[in-house]
Amino acid sequence: MSLERGEDPRTRTGTAARQAEATKEAILQSVARIVSEEGAGALTIDEVAKSAALSKGGVLHHFPSKEALLLAAFAHDLDSFEEEVARLQQEDPATPGAYTRAYLRACVESFGPTGDDCLTFLHQFRAIPSTVRLVRSYKERWMHRVEQDGLNPAIANLVRYVGDGIWLASTAAEAKPASFDEMVELLLRLAGTDDGGGRPETAGGFSTREQPEQGVQDDDLRTDGR
């Protein structure tokens, strides 16, 4: 297609790139809808093309195989999760622990009637090694982030693991327990405390700042006549 007189070729290139991205987005949304509403067995290139109002060749132009399409759909939803964590982190100016708290909140948001497309994919395609490797690479990155969040790494990972459990519970449409909100609040408070050195403030039930000296402790344990 020839350029119009005086037209900047960069304009047409930019337009084509935006159109390509819009087409990819439509394809990935169709994948999510099919898997969520009809199940993994219904996911075929033909069905995706039909849902996205494209030809089969149009889908294969962007994603040359069903596995490539599936991986792109996984990555798309994992990226969306990361974007939500970043948004929640910006709303929580307190540090340290802002990323860890945002991670937990994002996981809590996935626990609802709408579920999470990525969880649906993982539940139904977990036997495909490439999808598992993709999810693992994201999870390793998130683990590194919480461990660098200024909290005791043990506390940060505890909160992250609970968040992951909440996230995964959505695949089974598990009902929230009556204590769910209280549990989340306790975790948020746990991820909001730090002694300034990235280490836990408690040891053996005592605050590290309040540990009695051994001699005093021994005296306290004695009673009259002993």
- Would the pLDDT of 121 be above 60? yes
**pLDDT-based confidence at residue 191 (cuts at 50, 70, 90):** very high
Give the C-alpha separation, 62 to 73, whole Å.
Answer: 12
The pTM score is: 0.71
Please check the confidence at residue 115 and state whether its pLDDT lies above 80.
Answer: no
With tokens 């002694």, the residue in question is 195
List phi, psi (to 5°) of 3: -80, 145
Average pLDDT, stretch 142-169?
93
Q: Cα dist. 45→115, 121, 130 in Å?
A: 24, 16, 18
> Alpha-carbon distance 172 to 129, whole Å?
22
Answer for the pair 76, 63: CB distance below 8 angstroms, yes or no. no
- pLDDT at residue 10 greater than cutoff 80: no
Cβ atoms 124, 179 nearer than 8 A: no
pLDDT exceeds 60 at position 207: no
Q: Which domains does the chain have, with CATH numbers?
A: 11-64 (1.10.10.60), 67-199 (1.10.357)
Distances (CA, A) of 44 to 27, 55, 179: 12, 13, 41
Q: Which of 125, 93, 46 is nearest to 192 (CA)?
A: 93
| pLDDT (average), residues 85-102 | 92
> Per-residue pLDDT tens for 68-86?
888 888 888 889 899 999 9
Q: Are 115 and 36 in contact (CB under 8 A)?
A: yes
